[in-house]
A = this chain, B = another copy of it.
Amino acid sequence: MKKQILLYGVLLGLLIVLLKFFEYKFIIRDYAFEIYAGLIALIFAILGIWLGLKLTRKKEVIVVKEILKEVVKEIVVDKSQPFVLNEKKLTELGLTQREHEILSLIAKGHSNKEIADKLFISLNTIKTHSSRLFEKLGVNRRTQAVQKGKELRIIP
């Protein structure tokens, strides 16, 4: 926050210097003040908008205490939608493409049968995929898988 204010101040100073400089270079003396004011207003309005946009990117801080390692980790999760796939987590978990695909279909409320029909593969295959999927996510029910998937931001 202090950085922002400092940045604003410095920018304003620079701008004034710049404008004063141009004042002696060109012949825009008559409307100089209005032009300056307009320019400053424009620039700071844009900066303000940018800052405003940045401010709304709410960050949720999840504090995970790993007792075993006696280390306190802070994971900053960007909660400002829309959904951006967390590819790191995806590879970290070792989820394959197919497994990921099936997870999202599960999340959409489809039954295994429906998923099988949709992907033109056997029901058994869906079961194998989902089993492995659950194992990798450390869950044992599809509803939990969906929950975890959303939490880890690997599905929308």
Contact segment of A32-40, A65-73, A85-93, A117-125: A32-40
Category for how many chain A residues contact B = 35 or more
Establish whether residues B56 and A41, one from each chain, have CB atoms under 8 Å apart when the complex forms.
no
Q: Which residue of B is nearest A41, CB measured?
A: B44
Which of B51, B107, B109, B144 lies in contact with A48, CB distance below 8 A? B51
Bound-complex Cα distance A51 to B41 (A): 14
Q: What are the interface flags for A125-153 relative to B under an 8 Å C-beta threshold, 1 for contact and 0 otherwise?
A: 00000000000000101111011100000
Would you call A45 an interface residue if the criterion is a C-beta within 8 Å of the partner chain's C-beta atoms?
Answer: yes
Stoichiometry, as copies per complex, reads 2
Q: Which residues of B contact A52 (CB under 8 A)?
A: 48-56
Q: Is the CB of B16 within 8 A of A34?
A: yes
Residues of B within 8 A of A40 (CB): 37, 40-41, 44
* A15, CB-defined interface residue at 8 Å: yes
Known contacts A37-B16, A41-B44; is-contact A144 B53 (Cβ 8 Å): no
